[in-house]
Amino acid sequence: MVSSAPKIVISGYYGFRNSGDEAVLKSILTALKEEGEQTGLTVEPIVLSSDPAWTTKMYGVRAVHRMRLKEVRAAIRESSGVISGGGSLLQDATSPKSIPYYLAILKLAQWAGKPTFVYAQGIGPVQRKWFYPLIKSVFNRCNYISVRDEQSAGLLTAMGIQRSSVHVVPDPVMGLPLPANADSGPNGVSPADMPVIGISVRYWDKERRELKAIADGLRKLSAKRPVHLRFLPFHLPDDVQASQYVLEQLGDVDSNGSSMSMEREITDPQQMLLEVSKCDLIIGMRLHSLIYAASREVPLLGISYDPKINHFLSRIGSEPVGSSDTLNGDKLAAEAAELLDKREAWRGKRAAAIQALRQEARLPARQIIEYLSRKG
């Protein structure tokens, strides 16, 4: 047991109002706190954020601006270690700047003689092979490495990192609890006998093929049975706009006895988790909409725009209903209708796997707390 609270810097895609990444942060903070309480160690987090004031207000922790080098270096110097993760930080599909940035944070810590920990990251895609030796160099000096799927572990192995040093764990959000004193009753947005379908969409395909197919599928489903279509934007404001696009494509569903709504302002990850938990089915493009659903045993249909969707679905014995360029509205409507009729069977088939993932999601926090306790 240490005599004072060690400070731990947490680096990730935080402060951007992306519900999935904020859920990762909340999950890490919660796991560190609870694992620390079990060993008598209190950890003081310092989060690197694009909006430190908002992060501090949201989570009650200290935060510094992720792009202000002087502040970042000062936080690292006074810390007992640096956590990088989780989420898809080391990938160059969205920007070639992400990998250098997140490696630089780890490298600064290593130069300062601080232990570094990789927390349940999804690695890749890494299309620029010249990143391989950079990642290998930094990761080989990390004190603990965990990734959220076997494919990420395989990619690190291909880069020359020993497979035995890489731990495969669930996404940390599998361990995120509902908010304290949460009202877990009916959603309240539709009659009790009308199933609620939560929908998480994002812009991806430039021609909006997947969004048009989603609208087509939802239109056909609502024509067959009354449903409430509840749009849940995970990344503000972009996903609000994508949701609005689908709504416009849908047209009028009220004539069939169905209804629609959108939750436009949720930024607290646990509140979004609560919204998902009140749905009867989730249709999701965003990875964490699917992870939220699985963690609460809500039947789900994933639409793949990235391998990370397939990787997660495979861990719970599912496959995508389609991809961003192959999704078919008829298939989406048919599979959604089948899941609504067979919700209990879906839960029964996956309950054991989901429970195991929930428990394993705490392993990285346990390893980090044990490391800090030994060093203290």
Q: What is the tens place of the pLDDT at every residue in 25-65?
A: 999 999 999 999 999 999 999 999 999 999 999 999 999 99
List, for residues 251-264, the tens digit of each pLDDT value.
888 777 899 999 98
List, for residues 124-165, the tens digit of each pLDDT value.
999 999 999 999 999 999 999 999 999 999 999 999 999 999
Residue 300, number of CB atoms within 10 A of its CB: 26
Instruction: Indicate left, alpha or beta for 305 from its phi (over 0: left) and psi (-120 to 50: alpha).
Output: alpha
3-state secondary structure of 117: strand
Place of tokens 């620029």: 128
Angle formed by the axes of helices 19-39 and 287-295, nearest 10°: 50
19 pLDDT more than 50: yes
Average pLDDT over residues 69-87: 97
3-state secondary structure of 354: helix
Distance CA 373, CA 15 (A): 29
Report which DSSP code applies to 92: -
376 pLDDT more than 70: no
Distance CA 231, CA 227 (A): 13
Q: Which residue has the higher pLDDT, 4 or 8?
A: 8
3-state secondary structure of 138: helix
Residue 110's pLDDT is what?
Answer: 98
**C-alpha pair distances (Å), 89 with each of 84, 105, 122, 260:** 8, 12, 7, 34
Q: Find the DSSP H helices in 97-204.
A: 98-111, 132-139, 150-158
How confident is the prediction for the chain on average, in pLDDT?
94
Q: What is the 3-state secondary structure (H, E, C) of 278-332?
A: CCCEEEECCHHHHHHHHHCCCCEEEEECCHHHHHHHHHCCCCCCEECCCCCHHHH
Domain 7-169+361-375 has CATH 3.30.70.1140: no
3-state secondary structure of 168: strand
Q: Which of these, 107, 147, 105, 100, lies nearest to 126 by C-alpha position?
A: 100
Q: Which residue has the higher pLDDT, 161 or 184?
A: 161
**C-alpha pair distances (Å), 62 with each of 8, 191, 347, 349:** 10, 43, 39, 42
Q: Which of these, 16, 72, 337, lies nearest to 197 by C-alpha position?
A: 337
| C-alpha radius of gyration, the chain, whole number | 21
Q: 196-357, which class in CATH?
A: alpha beta
DSSP for 49-87 reads ESSHHHHHHHHSSEEEETT-HHHHHHHHHHSS-EEEEEE
- Dihedral sign from CA coordinates of 174, 175, 181, 185: positive
- Dihedral sign from CA coordinates of 184, 361, 124, 294: negative
Tokens linked to 43: 């950890």
Q: Where in the chain is the domain with CATH 3.40.50.2000?
A: 7-169+361-375, 196-357
Angle formed by the axes of helices 343-360 and 287-295, nearest 10°: 100
